[in-house]
Amino acid sequence: MSTVSRLPGIVTTDHVFQVPLDHRAPDGEQIELYAREVVAPGRAHDDLPWLVYLQGGPGGKANRPLGKDGWLTRALDDYRVLLLDQRGTGRSTPATRQTLARRGDARQQAEYLAHFRADSIVRDAELVRHRLLGPDGRWSLLGQSFGGFCTLTYLSLAPEGLREAFVTGGLAGLRRSADEVYRAAYPRVARKNAGHYRRFPQDVAAVRRIAAHLADRPATLPDGGTLTVEAFQALGMMLGSGTGSFSLHYLLEEAWVDGAAGPELSDTFLAGAQAQLSFAQGPLYAVLHESIYGQRSVDGRGTEWSAERVRKEFPEFDAAQALADDRPVLFTGEMIYPWMFETDPSLRPLRETAQLLAERTDWSDLYDTERLAANEVPVFAAVYHDDMYVDTAHSLETADAVANTRVWVTNEWEHDGLRVSGGGVLDRLIRMAQGEI
């Protein structure tokens, strides 16, 4: 029986579905899929079109609304929204170090997780569509970041289920290997570093001081994790959001206290760093991250820790050399490295599993370029000109390759524009769909 809840400005209904772990074996093992229906008060029985939200990630659960806030402010004017916890996340059957331990050894865990990519997420959504709308019902998609990648897979596998698609910061390169993705990413991250240091020039010395300290004495985080120089550099993930540079600066401001033996890294700083670096609430992000680029027809060798390998082509990110040369120490960005499975307690038990996934060479293709070239589903996409996470050139290349796509390129927002614009980004895309723009 579904549970109905009332929050300020919204009515929510819980839905739980059984879906096959492997859609090629529909009568085999089943897992649970959770989705939260959201509608404006007084409109629960209206014949509203459905808008399915696909969260970023991979491994990100849908947002938990506190009321009619954020992009829901705009969406609920026109739609009944379905917030889908993609398989393995949130209230869907979870995939974490705790639950995966029940599946056996690392090889069995890796085989299990091979079913958690965009193609499986799309097939899950199609089963849900059939159960909620019937086989002839169609709904709209809103794909944020990785959710946009899933949208392209949806358009490749089951466009007949869609009436329109909105994509924010998520037009993936259709034929781009992981290596190509990271070769484009490191220069973007370097530019974000340069922008941060122009904004806060005092942080050049502050970052060098912390990096030099950690090079000699890696710190222990409150959860037992280890803050190495490389882990400290990974705080650069923050630079991809609209206010991330400011938040990083404020974190650095409180890095030091005078302890019994002299200056030491403060508990405030270490707790703040842990909040940014820990994957305890979303381990699939780390475990599956590079696999989202795996397509055997694009690169048959697998991903093989692409971000780590490609990083060697960009020596400016070498912290030890930067310290030796009296240069600014650069932060990294949306990269997953094998050492993370040593420093993060929530990832340590999954180290061998992640290694097997990195070595996997038989990833199925996620995009049907011929079908996308003949696409008839209207697609409206926001491409952020300064996006640190998704390459603008790759996004525009994909927009040209997917028929019936209209693009709005903007530098008003960063990658988190959908979340922080108060509905402004979604409103623009909806008005494009309605022919107002």
What distance in Å separates the CA atoms of residue 84 and residue 241, rounded to the nearest whole number? 23
Cis upstream peptide for 94 (omega within 30°): no
What distance in Å separates the CA atoms of residue 203 and residue 205, rounded to the nearest whole number? 5
Catalytic residue among 27, 258, 326, 362: 362
What distance in Å separates the CA atoms of residue 165 and residue 282, rounded to the nearest whole number? 26
Bridge partners of residue 167, in order along the sequence: 143, 381
CA atoms within 13 A on the CB side of 406: 15
Q: Is the dihedral of CA 136, 137, 140, 145 positive or negative?
A: negative
What distance in Å separates the CA atoms of residue 261 and residue 38, rounded to the nearest whole number? 55
Cα separation values, 198 from 253, 319, 401, 428, Å: 16, 19, 37, 31
Task: Tell me how crowded residue 25 is: count the other CB atoms within 10 A of its CB.
Answer: 9
Category of 20 on φ-ψ map: left (φ > 0), alpha (ψ -120 to 50) or beta: beta
**Alpha-helical segments (H) within 48-145:** 72-75, 97-100, 106-113, 118-133
**Is 115 a known active-site residue?**
no
Catalytic residue among 85, 306, 415, 416: 415
Catalytic residue among 92, 145, 156, 395: 145
Phi/psi for 137 (5° steps) reads: -75, 145
What distance in Å separates the CA atoms of residue 437 and residue 67, rounded to the nearest whole number? 29
**Is 368 a known active-site residue?**
no
Identify the residue whose tokens are 């270490």.
270
Contacts with 336 (C-beta within 8 Å, 6 or more apart), sequence order: 285, 286, 289, 290, 307
Q: Which of 208, 286, 193, 295 is nearest to 248 (CA)?
A: 193
**Is 289 a known active-site residue?**
no
Contacts with 191 (C-beta within 8 Å, 6 or more apart), sequence order: none
Residues recorded for the chain: 437
Question: What is the CA 401 to chain-centroid distance, rounded?
Answer: 23
CA atoms within 13 A on the CB side of 145: 22
Identity of the residue numbered 303:
T
Q: Which residues are catalytic?
A: 145, 362, 415
